[in-house]
Each structure stands twice: as structure tokens, then as C-alpha cells.
Amino acid sequence: MTTDSARSGFVTFVGRPNVGKSTLTNALVGEKVAITSDKPQTTRRAIRGIVNRPTGQLVIVDTPGLHKPRTLLGQRLNDLVEQVLGDVDVIGFCVPATEKVGPGDRRIAESLDGYARAKKVAIVTKTDAAARDQVTERLLEVDALREDWAAVIPLSALTRDQLDVLTDELLAMMPEGPALYPEGVVTDESDEDRIAEIIREAALDGVRDELPHSIAVTVDDVEGREDGSLIDIHASIVVERDSQKAIIIGRKGSRLKDVGMRARAQIEPLVGSKVFLKLHVRVAKEWQRDPKQLGRLGF
């Protein structure tokens, strides 16, 4: 960092599932570190994205959306969010400009009372998809939820409108101190974790109903060939039932092939090499409710 009074610290964005937290994280970092999907509860881990500016460094902890848990996995995701909220310097509460503030938003806003040390910022997301009067209405609704907002900011991660305003506000709220990560680092996620998430994102595309929650991915082996021409990656897509396995594979394997093609297109720039990606689909019965299976899958 270039100044003696540089600031650095942690921020997390909270809100209902699918309000744009991961999209906002990626836009601020300037690189895709968190997968995105229109399916609720896409994010399942605390993923750190790092934003470097001349005045300091923001470490964004992208977390799952807070929700009423229906499975052991859901409860563990909520516990993860609560743990993160207790450790960060700033909490950004996100509400989409396109939807009225509802009971779920109010419940989350009230729950922030439990995290007294963190400053709170209200963020109205997806302004590019809303009319001006919608944005104004949302700002008024959000402002009324709490009296202690340090700032209320409308923005669009898609068009990057107001992103610099948010970055400047967040940095100003961070404690003084040196950078927590080296300058070129954008995430502390391992390549294997990022590969697994890219595959899961591709598998989520186009599936419906309960299937998104039932999909997990493990990377079983990554090995470069001796001649340096390719990296072989073997990964498993895990589902809960045989019927789900059939959906993921598709007719004559067409869907699985499509998942592999789309995932490979993102994995190759990440690892800097051509990739041979072998996907296997396996069934782990009711893994979302089984403590042992959850442990094996990293939850």
C-alpha cells in the first residue's frame, strides 16, 4: 500500500438468497472468485475476495444467504454466516431494487443488533434492472429498517454504477493497518476449490426445483501430463438420488457433456493450460441431512 495511514479489514454482504451478493463481490474484486446462479443458496462457503486500492485493502467474505434451514446443511450454512458476522469490521446489508422489502429482509436487518462491533451499510443492488422511482422507494424502505446505517448506497454490479462510491465508503470505515494479503492476490481459495465451484456452477445451470440444493462437487485428482500438453482433472458431481443422477447425465450423456464443456472453458484460463476434464456422477443418499456425508463433502 502506498500511504502510511492505509486501511485494511473485512467486510461481508448479507441478505436473503439471490440478492446479488456474489455478483457484487466479483465486481468489486474485478475477477470471478465466487460462482453465481439464479438458484438460491448457490454460495456454500465463506469465500474471500481481495480488493486492493492505493488507500488500503478490503477483504470481502462472501457468504451463503441467510434463510430458514430445512436440512442439516442449511443449518450449517447459517452457522457459518453467523460466525463470519461476528468477525468482520463492516456488514453490508443487500436488498435488490427490484423487490419490495419483506419480512425476510426485516428479520435479517434486526438480527444485525447481535453484531455490535461491526459498522452497518445498506446497499440497494440491481439498480440497472429497476425504474428510478423503484430505486427511490427501496432506498426509503431500507433506510427505515435501522437507525444506525453508516451509509445507504444504491448500485449496480452489472453496470459498475456506484461501485467506486461503495469501495471508498467501505475503505474509510476500515481500521488503519497494513494489507492482510500480498498485492496480486484476489482470493485465498485454492485452485481445486475454485475448479469444484466452476463445475458446480455449470451443473446448476438449467436445473430446477430441489435439484440445485442436492448438487455437490469434489475434485478427485489433478495431474499434469509429462509433456506439459494437458492437465487431467477428475471430478465427481454428487447428488442425493438416482433420479437426479439421470437428470445431470441427460439423454445419452448430453447434459453432462455440456456441463463439462462450459466448466472447462472457465477452468483453462484459471490453471493456464489446456484441460482434459473427466466428470463422474455419483449418488450419496440424502447427504444434506447426514453429518458424516457433510463432513466428507467439506461442510
Would the annotation count 17 as a binding residue?
Answer: yes
Query: 119 a known binding residue?
Result: no
With beta carbons less than 8 A apart as the criterion, state whether 263 and 199 touch.
Answer: yes
Alpha carbon 151 to its chain centroid, in Å, reads: 23
| 175 annotated ligand-binding residue | no
Query: Would you mind telling me the total number of residues written for the chain in this entry?
Result: 299
CA atoms within 13 A on the CB side of 187: 24
**56 annotated to bind ligand:** no
CB 15 within 8 A of CB 150: no
Q: Is 111 assigned a ligand-binding role in the annotation?
A: no
Asked if residue 65 belongs to a known ligand binding site, the reply is yes
CA–CA gap between residue 143 and residue 214 (Å, rounded): 37
Q: Is 182 annotated as a binding residue?
A: no
Q: How far apart are CA 266 and CA 95, in angstroms?
A: 29
Residue 12 annotated as lining a ligand binding site: no
CB of 231 within 8 A of CB of 224? yes
70 is in an annotated binding site: no
- Would the annotation count 171 as a binding residue? no
The verdict on whether residue 19 carries a ligand-binding annotation is yes
The three three-digit cell numbers of residue 3, written as one number? 500511504
Q: Is 228 annotated as a binding residue?
A: no
CB atoms under 10 Å from CB of 241, counted, come to 15
Residue 274 annotated as binding?
no
Residue type (1 letter), 93: F
In this structure, are residues 93 and 138 in contact, taking their beta carbons and an 8 Å threshold? Answer: no
The answer to the question of whether 63 is labelled as a binding residue is yes
Burial class (CB in 10 A: 0-12, 13-18, 19+), 28: buried
23 annotated ligand-binding residue: no
18 is in an annotated binding site: yes
64 assigned to a ligand binding site:
yes
Which residues are documented as binding site? Answer: 15-22, 62-66, 125-128
Which residues are documented as binding site for GTP? Answer: 15-22, 62-66, 125-128
